[in-house]
Structure 1
């Protein structure tokens, strides 16, 4: 087939999640409800944390940024998806597709890193409580910007060449949003090197953050079993929802990106992306177990010797 250069492609056609008209209204109502709950829940978390001085601790500082990432993450996909379901308008402009992919990768990588940071925060709070102000209160101002910076690095690395590839007579994406794998499936160019780079970056990001999370929880479990303290157990209870989110998030990502490229557009992988892109539960600690730092409530102050 004669390849079509990217400059000749002005729009893509998203096949969407379903093709059955009788499911339009139920799916629209379901995803609209999910989106509204996501927005209201995460906005509520951010406002509560910002207004309540008792929540000005590293744990809730990380949580507020995770809530922000969840809002952005859902808003990248769901509004366009709702329009597609209700109106059957399946086209997306070339620039819109590029922007959707870039923001999706940025916030996806950032969320992975924030989950790892929060696991480390719980490890320090439970296993090294006396060192908590020294470690977390000083490093919290660097860990969050660093997470966003790594997300930007990934998007620059992964999308540098994707929209310079040629496409084979087709601009139909077998997905409900612009993801890397469905776009690569349309390309006539030699994408082997590019796919190896993507796989390496995904593996490095997932495996490194998963290692931090699992090691942190291993130490937490050992500490809880060794020390029969109500305070320690109360702090450990804040890990339950976090571990649930981590399991769903990474399980869906690994099932999607570590499978053969020929299965990327399958219905099973479309459903898998729903879990890590849309339906991942919001992380809400069950207890207010985060330790405070000296001079709580003054988040805008510069860090001097580990104080806020």
Structure 2
């Protein structure tokens, strides 16, 4: 079983508006309310790719209830440990006239040590048949070092660990040999304190460093440039298709969920990367994550190259 872990879930309010002017009422064209959080998105994508999974996490308030109810409606079993306060609401605004996007991301609730320990005790029941995908930021009260605690638990219990985190602790967690890590280009640069241009040569060099540090596989989101996949046997690069971007929230999660599904189902790596790029791109051109009904039209634009070295 694949388990996703969301330690700072959210409800995202997506707004499309013609203008965003100060000190006046800005009338919107449309809005959408979405259950979100990186692990929540990955769970939904896995389900849409035919992979049963369970969503785990922490949160608070009626906003957490909304997220749990939504996952249940999507056919994703879930268990969120509830604390005081409210799970955050974020706002994403697409301004048409200026072709700009505004992202207003709030902090999560304060999670107590007792609530976190209850979650951890459930995670200790995972075993050799399980995969755990840890995605996104942590709510207040959860130190980034919790990632290392999960890293140590993985080889002890035998489950496979997948990490999508910008925290520096993600680099330390490579020593526990996670099955897959998914930084974007900026995060990968930050992991290894690299400055300068995030070109492909640099990404491949840093990808090798991540593999040498213990990662079994690495998937790097390159934004408009596509994506890079590497392990000890192969290096694959795929370009991104040309799209009209509407909402970038969830695009990286879609890529990860799609790739993870292909990996779990033992599909060809090159074809899996191609579909993952198409799916992430399709998500970026709509209000919420793709349902895969329109990804085929993007696949023809994507070419996967096998790189040497």
So what's the TM-score if we normalise by structure 2?
0.25
- The structure with higher relative contact order (CA 8 Å, sep 6+) is 1
Q: TM-score, normalised by structure 1?
A: 0.25
| Structure ranking higher in helix proportion | 1
Structure number with larger C-alpha Rg: 1
